Amino acid sequence: MRILYPFILSLLLFISSCSRPRELTFMVGGSPNELLYWEKVIGEFHEKTGINVKLIRQPTDTDQRRQGIVIALRSKSRDPDVFLMDVVWVGAIASSGWLEPLDSYIERDNLDLNKFFSRVVDEVDRYRGNVMALPVYVDGGLLYYRKDLLAKYGYTAPPETWEELLQMAKKVQARERRKNKNFWGFVWQGAMYEGLICTFLEFSSSFGGGITIDSTGRIVVNIPQNVEALKFMQDLIHGYKISPPNTYTELKEEEVRLIFDQGNALFERNWPYAWGLHEKNPELKDKVGITKLPHRKGKRSASTLGGWHIGISRFSD
């Protein structure tokens, strides 16, 4: 975020460039660590300019955050002035005409776009030739694991394949449940929301599948590799029983993180934000490792692109 930090302040300064300062509104959400970061940003902005920035706080849940942004923009509300967007929202919000193009501000402030993830800017943030947003950070799905528990049961490295994860999870879960009936081998996002699509894409790609578009423009999902991946996801819950039965109905990012954070899981699929929170937990500090997500034997690991982008509302005054 440090590269973008001066530009965030610059965006706020541009919006506030009127005859007298006024209060700006900035719509953000996410984990406690993320909110603390933004509080620091607007605190320093206030010290530099004397202008107040009001945080419009949103929930951690991405679907609820999107709904809040869309409602505000569709109604052409003057608030928020600035807001964050998930990577998959930028195109839809830009095509709706709700974003202010940033090209003139980038040119004015001599912002070097090469310092960003240039491919992400080109593929995500440009619309009809204009830069409509910029990435605050880019992330992807990761596998968290308990280093101490793997070592306790004779493992020297985390799993590279789904077959290895399954074998480790079944063994450790069975042993740990002798003293903790709430312990699970693997927790992941399986509830019916956007996060399930991210999880499915990782499973399907790591099985050699994925979602493609054929020559007629038709989206193709029903292929053998994807069916195999879906069956494996189902078996994690009902067959191998190393994932909780409420994975389908309740498990999103924070629910998954809390299970792991409470010492009730060996493996966790989550985004990078969970790392700092796990490290702050004295019961887990120095006991957690991170690695790439597993893959089917003979296939390749895959991680869904995530991250958040910043933009200016066209209705800001």
Tell whether 40 and 126 lie within a shared domain.
yes
Tell whether 147 and 76 lie within a shared domain.
no
In the chain, % of residues over pLDDT 70 = 93
Tell whether 119 and 34 lie within a shared domain.
yes
**Which range among 31-35, 68-72, 139-143, 301-305 shows the weakest confidence by mean pLDDT?**
31-35
Long-range contacts of residues 231-240, Cβ cutoff 8 Å, at least 24 apart = 232/162, 232/203, 232/207, 233/190, 233/199, 233/200, 233/203, 236/186, 236/188, 237/190, 240/166, 240/169, 240/170, 240/185
The conformation of residue 160, written as its DSSP 8-state character, comes to: S
Tell whether 49 and 102 lie within a shared domain.
yes
Tell whether 132 and 168 lie within a shared domain.
no
Average pLDDT, the chain: 91
Using pLDDT thresholds of 50, 70 and 90, give the confidence band for residue 237. very high
Q: Global pTM?
A: 0.84
- Does the pLDDT at position 21 exceed 60? no
Residue 231 lies in a domain: yes
Tell whether 16 and 134 lie within a shared domain.
yes
Tell whether 104 and 170 lie within a shared domain.
no
Residue 298 lies in a domain: no
Two structure tokens written together for 227: 């069916």
Tell whether 124 and 35 lie within a shared domain.
yes
- Does the pLDDT at position 14 exceed 80? no
In a 3-state reduction of DSSP, which class is residue 15? helix
Domain hosting residue 35, numbered range = 5-139+307-312
- Does the pLDDT at position 305 exceed 60? yes
Total of domains in the chain: 2
**CATH assignment at residue 150:** 3.40.190.10
Q: What CA–CA distance (Å, rounded) separates 34 from 39?
A: 9
- Does the pLDDT at position 1 exceed 70? no
Tell whether 276 and 171 lie within a shared domain.
yes
Tell whether 149 and 132 lie within a shared domain.
no
Tell whether 164 and 85 lie within a shared domain.
no
Tell whether 183 and 124 lie within a shared domain.
no
Q: What is the mean pLDDT of residues 16-26?
A: 65
More confident residue, 8 or 15: 8
> 281: Cβ–Cβ under 8 A, 6 or more apart, which residues?
261
